[in-house]
Amino acid sequence: MKKLILSLYMLLFTVVSFAQTDPIIGKWQNPSGEGRIEIFKKGEKYYGKLYWLKNANDELGNPKKDVKNPDEKLKSRALLGLENLTNFDKTGNNVYENGNVYDPKSGKTYRCKMTLKGDKLDIRGFVGVSLIGRTDTFTRVR
């Protein structure tokens, strides 16, 4: 009987520990509805990549490229699959900081902070201090 109870306890513990994923992990749509990112974890850091674009191809039907990138070698890479959120640390309850966001529309990279509020994700890009920046609120994609 003790073995059965111990086995059930271990099974329950295993299921619960696997079920606890970080709530920021998942798919998110930008405010304009033009793009979606997928946030994932690598090691102890959080990243995001573009996995869907409303207009993923140029006027010739070819995949859109990262043409605004200041690095000539990166201008030919496709926007789909582009990792544009990098190196975030979870610093508090639903707060992720010390990362960067790359804006393919301008080719600029900014410091960034993400704050999760239920099914909304505030992504704030800034220069220097957080006061000088812009926040976009993304919505979870189900």
Q: For residue range 8-30, what is the model confidence (pLDDT) as tens digits?
A: 455 544 444 444 589 999 999 99
DSSP 63-88: BPB-TT-SSGGGTTSBSTT-EEEEEE
Q: Domain residues of the chain, as ranges?
A: 22-140
Rounded mean pLDDT of 89-106?
A: 96
Taking the model in full, what pTM does it have? 0.83
φ and ψ of 24, to 5 deg: -75, -25
Indicate if the pLDDT at residue 60 is higher than 60.
yes
- C-alpha to C-alpha distance for 77 and 136, rounded to whole angstroms: 25
> How much of the chain exceeds pLDDT 70, in percent?
86
Rounded mean pLDDT of 46-70?
A: 97
> What CATH code is assigned to 22-140?
2.40.128.520
CA proximity to 55, closest of 83, 34, 79: 34
